[in-house]
Amino acid sequence: MSLEFTDKNFDQEVIKSDKPVLVDFWAPWCGPCQMMSPIIDELASEMEGKVKVGKINVDENPDSSSKFEVMSIPAIKIFKGGKVVKELVGAQSKEALKEELGKI
């Protein structure tokens, strides 16, 4: 199961993480976001211990969405050392996400 990130825990869970972090910026009304949900959960299980994988609801957490300039969702951002190292917009396959994570 993927983690749930919020404006309150984003710094601790993502920015200060000692592991790479994949963050899915999503909203419940977004169709492609709903398609991504099981993929994100599978990825979280498969990458456990190597990469943190989680989601942040853009409607409930406007500060993080604004800070990282999320204009379209789903938006996937991969963080390493507190910085965004890769950004993807739109629905992605699990294989594509794993490939990107393998590059960090």
Using DSSP, state whether 21 is helix, strand or coil.
strand
Q: Catalytic: which of 3, 6, 9, 30?
A: 30
Active-site residue flag, 33: yes
Which of 86, 85, 20, 27 shows the shortest CA–CA distance to 61?
Answer: 27
Residues 80 and 8: their CA atoms lie apart, in Å, by 19
Give me the sign of the Cα torsion angle 69, 14, 10, 92: positive
Q: Catalytic: which of 22, 33, 44, 73?
A: 33
Q: What is the phi/psi pair of residue 67, to 5°?
A: -60, -40
C-alpha separations of 13 from 3, 35, 61 in Å: 9, 24, 14
Active-site residue flag, 24: no
Active site residues: 30, 33
